[in-house]
Amino acid sequence: MFGRRKKNEAPVEPAEDAVLTDEVETDEGDATHARLNLPPAPRPDGPWDVSEVKEPGEGRVDLGGLYVPGVEGMELRVEVAGDAIVAATVVLQDSAVQLQAFAAPKNEGIWGEVREEIAGGITQQGGVIDEVEGPLGWELRAQVPVQLPDGTNGVQVVRFVGIDGPRWFLRGVISGQGAVQPQAAGVLEHIFRDTVVVRGEGPMAPRDPIVLKLPDDAQMVPDGVQQEQAEGSRFGGGVERLERGPEITEIR
């Protein structure tokens, strides 16, 4: 759970105590910085960099910046920002996982920092966040306030997962039954793990989205009514957009 640590209400009398407090706060800040800027961890089970896979297109949908595993009965939707496709969502029955890749520093992971940004944004909206170590590593499990179709207020449960790779970061947002039922989450977690990221060799600023493209045999579906994007971290998007937005549907 994220929250602010309460300050000591007792007055500090000696001047030395004030100096000591400053030193402790500085040390904690350094420790936090060190935790948030660790090198990418090993990925023995994926997701994969394109250099690590001999045939990235085998059994996967080619979206340019991502190769997404194909699963029988799935729908594949893409999210558009301006003229660029920046995210893909795999919908499987009553569960979904949104995939989005970003550029990252060469020797520094960003998932720790991104988790804090997402948690802060959802907390400001009145949501609840838990940080847990799940099947895909450290993740956020969020209860996000939403407005239900009948106009009443409700809560949507989602999981934010992320993996740091070589000069890229892959974020996933799991929603629906996959966010609350482990048996429903297994296929979505496999899709996330077996995704291949194509960062490219060109220069990119850290956190720039890796642009995707439509598959050659994509069948277009008319756009739905788009919901306004939630304010906050650019990495926190996707919760409200999982059901609406520019999309393609591919049945496998």
Please say if the pLDDT value at position 86 is more than 80: yes
Which pLDDT score, from 0 to 100, does residue 82 have?
84
CA gap 104, 165 in Å, rounded: 8
Please say if the pLDDT value at position 30 is more than 90: no
- Do 24 and 71 fall within a single domain? no
Position 179 in a domain: yes
Choice between 248 and 102, residue whose per-residue pLDDT is larger: 102
Please say if the pLDDT value at position 163 is more than 80: yes
Position 6 in a domain: no
- Do 36 and 52 fall within a single domain? no
Which pLDDT score, from 0 to 100, does residue 14 have?
40
- Do 96 and 33 fall within a single domain? no
- Do 180 and 92 fall within a single domain? yes
What's the pLDDT band for 241 if we cut at 50, 70, 90?
very low
Element (H, E) at 27: helix 15-36
* Lateral strand order in the sheet of 60-62: 48-49, 196-197, 66-69, 60-62
Cis peptide bond prior to 47, omega within 30° of 0: yes
- Do 35 and 134 fall within a single domain? no
Whole-prediction pTM value? 0.75
- Do 225 and 244 fall within a single domain? yes
CA gap 132, 155 in Å, rounded: 19
- Do 78 and 27 fall within a single domain? no
Choice between 237 and 144, residue whose per-residue pLDDT is larger: 144
Sequential DSSP letters for 78-101: EEEETTEEEEEEEEETTEEEEEEE
Residue 178, SS3?
A: helix
Which pLDDT score, from 0 to 100, does residue 191 have?
97
- Which domain range does residue 35 map to? 12-40
Position 1 in a domain: no
CA gap 5, 28 in Å, rounded: 12
Are the C-beta atoms of residues 130 and 225 closer than 8 Å to each other?
A: no
| Domain CATH for 157 | 3.40.1000
Position 4 in a domain: no
- Do 119 and 166 fall within a single domain? yes
Position 241 in a domain: yes
Token reading at 218:
């994509």
CA gap 197, 172 in Å, rounded: 13
Please say if the pLDDT value at position 20 is more than 60: no
Token reading at 38:
């660790």
**Among candidate residues 84, 52, 77, 72, the one with its CA nearest the CA of residue 215:** 77
- Do 58 and 153 fall within a single domain? yes
Q: How many domains does the chain have?
A: 2
Which pLDDT score, from 0 to 100, does residue 161 have?
97
- Do 90 and 198 fall within a single domain? yes
Cα 242–Cα 95–Cα 56 angle in degrees, nearest 5 = 85
Which pLDDT score, from 0 to 100, does residue 224 have?
52
β-bridge pairing 95-103 and 128-134: unpaired
Position 57 in a domain: yes
Residue 213, SS3?
A: coil
| Predicted confidence (pLDDT) per residue in 199-224, tens digit | 998 999 999 999 999 887 665 555 55
Element (H, E) at 185: helix 182-193
Position 3 in a domain: no
- Do 22 and 77 fall within a single domain? no
Token reading at 179:
């966010």
Position 7 in a domain: no
| Predicted confidence (pLDDT) per residue in 99-156, tens digit | 999 999 988 899 999 999 999 999 999 999 999 999 999 999 999 998 888 889 899 9
Which pLDDT score, from 0 to 100, does residue 226 have?
40
Please say if the pLDDT value at position 50 is more than 70: yes
Per-residue exposure over 169-194, b if at least 16 CB sit within 10 Å of its own CB, e if not = bbbbbbbbbbbeeeebbebbbbbbbb
- Do 107 and 195 fall within a single domain? yes
Please say if the pLDDT value at position 190 is more than 70: yes
